[in-house]
Amino acid sequence: MSNGFDPHPHTGPQFGQTWEAQIQSPESFHGVSPYPPIADYGFLSDGEVSALVAPSGNIEWLCLPRFDSPSVFGSILDRSAGNFRLGPADINVPSHRRYLPGTNVLETSWGTGDGWIIVRDVLLIGPWHHDKDRSGTHRRAPTDYDADHVLLRMVRCVHGEVQLTLDCKPVFDYGQVPAQWEYTGEAYHEGLATAPGIDLQLRLNTDMNLGFEGPRTTARTMLKEGDVRFVALSWSEHPAPQHYDEAYDRLVWTAHHWQNWLARGTFPDHPWRGYLERSALTLKGLTYAPTGALIAAATTSLPETPGGERNWDYRFSWIRDSTFTLWGLYTLGFDWEANDFFYFIADVAAGEDDLQIMYGVAGEKELTERVLGQLHGYEGASPVRIGNGAYDQRQHDVWGAVLDSFYLHTKSRDGMPEEIWPILKRQVTAALEHWRGTDHGMWEVRGKPQHFTSSKVMCWVAVDRGARLARLREEHDLAAEWQVVADEIHADICENAVDERGVFTQHYDTDALDASCLLLPLLRFLPPNDPRIRNTVLAIADELTEDGLVLRYRTDETDDGLSGEEGSFTICSFWLVSALVEIGELPRARELCERLLGFASPLQLYAEEIDPRSGRHLGNFPQAFTHLALINAVMHVIRAEMETNAPRDKTTSPRATP
């Protein structure tokens, strides 16, 4: 044992809830589908790539060498698109799964009729690699750590004996090009997977004996109590572990890295702390370390509607996430990560081109969408898409997201870098030029452009925050000029976006509700005690929900260019929690927040949507925006409770999103 890290994992279900007990949600009993429920996947990350691990021990999603690269294991989208299983023979349902506390190291416990084994999966992180060269990918200041480009799987038999099997079948380029294996090391312990026309090479190191069956490498061994094994898959010049002790030490280093990172945060002493910590670890795992970009989710084309066409690629960074990202990270004390994302936004906004709604993880602008016809899709949901055709849509919320982010950053730092101001002035100018026009809205609808209320509000945010920043810089004439227009936009919204009931609607030409209007009190468009804000929040809570969970909009009232329905958007339900706190409905907010936390996956992760009838997770997974909204909502409730319970002379107001 080194550095206090316990090498002996818990050996049975008595140390925690059994796997069977954890999956009693309706989602988990998913008929005869060969696909695990979305919520049952575990998430791994090293800050450059991510992997999804099924309960069976099968790695069903891994894209290399970046989050948005083609998959080498893609069986989450097609059962023939590549997989990597390590587990007991003939048993697919584990007894227990958990993350090692404070880490993104996944531990799976298996009980068989004859024994118990523990499998630990991790994407290794190690000391900084580039002391004598430059990485070629890092734009942010180098840290003390770096991705090792190694997927490590470790096994220990803790009781009896268990037949262990390994089955690794990479299929490059989204399931199109099978791997070819050859031995490269001594005896049968190392194999190299290559394919014609593919630059990427995969190297598999293990203390098991490997055999090759066409595109597949396999191994089988009987483990007895105390036996250990390791398997390491690597894809760069960084060496993989060569023996078990080295593998163990590197797993310990990675686990301590995650724990030390989490210890930098500031978390309330509250029963919901675990959800905040898991959300923070997930957001860190969805951040591309070389640039600071936060991707929306780790996957593409997991369906919003079972078997439907609402399938999108979320492995990119959305500008609109910036305000909530910075708020969430600053709130939990992760200033370095907030600064990295701030400077990523500064990078992409620095050019003369119009600001896009999304970018690649290294700032790429062209994210051309195409369909992968060779993949059947998760449970047959097609098409499977890569790229995102919304990247060149006109969405007027982007300028407000940038200005609000920079305003928040400036307030947190009591200053703004001088080179940033020209960038911000361009974004305010863009909002001034376009605020009267139509766009596709926050939800990127593919129907007719409209005067969406949330887009108008974000244009107001852009000009209002620009005026505030100008005042901070003592450019009072410019601030006054912008404030006049901000007031004009504000008046236009209040005149055209409010129906006869005093409720803000989706756009100027409809009475339909839209969950994006829940942002109005959070963005301080109007005071929370304004009747129009209260009416809007309560109308959405009562009329735009299914079994208490919030929809983005009613698909029969909104021309989004697509067929079928969708589940409730979890982020919108968390927005409702925050908005209810704002208007003074704390008991109702807490009740909804508790219910939403109850919908978390067994590993406390969230997809984009939840089916309100079954509790089934839908859409890409895990979803950054959902975890950001969770942080916002949970902290709203906790701070409001602290204010309510505090002595009157010591009360402090809950901090809302600026």
Give Dmax over CA atoms of the chain in angstroms.
79
pLDDT at site 338: 87
pLDDT at site 339: 87
Please give the residue range of the domain that contains residue 640: 273-650
Same domain, residue pair 291 and 422: yes
Q: CA–CA separation, 423 vs 313, rounded Å?
A: 29
End-to-end Cα spacing for the chain: 47
Domain boundary among 207, 229, 263: 263
pLDDT at site 417: 83
pLDDT at site 560: 59
Same domain, residue pair 116 and 224: yes
Domain boundary among 232, 263, 294: 263
* pLDDT over 70 (residue 253): yes
Q: CA–CA separation, 580 vs 562, rounded Å?
A: 31
Residue 33 belongs to some domain of the structure: yes
Look up residue 42 and give its two tokens. 């575990």
Average pLDDT over residues 180-195: 95
* pLDDT over 60 (residue 597): yes
Amino acid at 390: A
Average pLDDT over residues 154-169: 98
Q: Are 569 and 608 in contact (CB under 8 A)?
A: yes
Of 62-71, 252-261, 567-576, least confident by mean pLDDT is: 567-576
Query: Per-residue pLDDT tens for 550-585?
Result: 999 887 776 655 655 666 899 999 999 999 999 999
Same domain, residue pair 213 and 184: yes
Domain boundary among 221, 240, 263: 263
Looking at per-residue pLDDT, the higher value among 442 and 574 belongs to: 574
Same domain, residue pair 309 and 162: no
Residue 239 belongs to some domain of the structure: yes
pLDDT at site 655: 37
Look up residue 90 and give its two tokens. 């003939």
Query: Per-residue pLDDT tens for 513-549?
Result: 999 999 999 999 999 999 999 999 999 999 999 999 9
Residue 657 belongs to some domain of the structure: no
User: For residue 130, what are the CA distances in angstroms to 46, 126, 240, 292, 361?
Assistant: 16, 12, 17, 18, 20
Give the CATH number of the domain where residue 61 resides: 2.70.98
Length of the chain: 658
Average pLDDT over residues 323-327: 83
pLDDT at site 131: 66
Least Cα distance to 61 among 622, 617, 624, 599 occurs for 622
| % residues pLDDT > 70 (the chain) | 90
Amino acid at 508: Y
Same domain, residue pair 250 and 303: no
Amino acid at 78: D
Same domain, residue pair 240 and 284: no
Task: DSSP letter for 569, please.
Answer: E
Average pLDDT over residues 248-276: 97
Q: CA–CA separation, 164 vs 88, rounded Å?
A: 5
**Exposed e or buried b for every residue in 609-619, given b needs 16+ CB within 10 A?**
bbbbebbbbbb
pLDDT at site 139: 65
31 burial (CB, 10 Å; 0-12 / 13-18 / 19+) is: exposed
Look up residue 323 and give its two tokens. 């305000």
pLDDT at site 652: 39
Same domain, residue pair 250 and 366: no
Looking at per-residue pLDDT, the higher value among 156 and 649 belongs to: 156
pLDDT at site 562: 63
pLDDT band of residue 392 (cuts 50, 70, 90) is confident
Q: Are 180 and 171 in contact (CB under 8 A)?
A: no
Least Cα distance to 155 among 140, 167, 165 occurs for 165
* pLDDT over 50 (residue 302): yes
Query: Per-residue pLDDT tens for 609-628?
Result: 999 889 999 999 999 999 99
Average pLDDT over residues 490-496: 98
pLDDT at site 13: 31
Least Cα distance to 74 among 389, 387, 372 occurs for 372
Residue 1 belongs to some domain of the structure: no
How does strand 115-127 pair with strand 287-288? unpaired
Look up residue 343 and give its two tokens. 């400077």
Give the CATH number of the domain where residue 642 resides: 1.50.10.10
pLDDT band of residue 130 (cuts 50, 70, 90) is low
Looking at per-residue pLDDT, the higher value among 407 and 14 belongs to: 407
* pLDDT over 80 (residue 57): yes
Same domain, residue pair 309 and 189: no
Same domain, residue pair 253 and 334: no
Q: Are 345 and 363 in contact (CB under 8 A)?
A: no
Residue 429 belongs to some domain of the structure: yes
Same domain, residue pair 259 and 301: no
Please, what is the average pLDDT of the chain?
90
Inter-helix orientation angle 624-645/273-285, to 10°? 150
pLDDT at site 128: 75
* pLDDT over 80 (residue 7): no
Same domain, residue pair 36 and 102: yes
Residue 634 belongs to some domain of the structure: yes
Residue 655 belongs to some domain of the structure: no
pLDDT at site 416: 82
Give strand pairing partners of 313. Answer: 300
Task: DSSP letter for 240, please.
Answer: P
Residue 22 belongs to some domain of the structure: yes
Could you count the other beta carbons within 10 Å of the beta carbon of residue 416?
Answer: 17
* pLDDT over 60 (residue 657): no
* pLDDT over 80 (residue 445): no
Domain count, the chain: 2
Same domain, residue pair 182 and 287: no
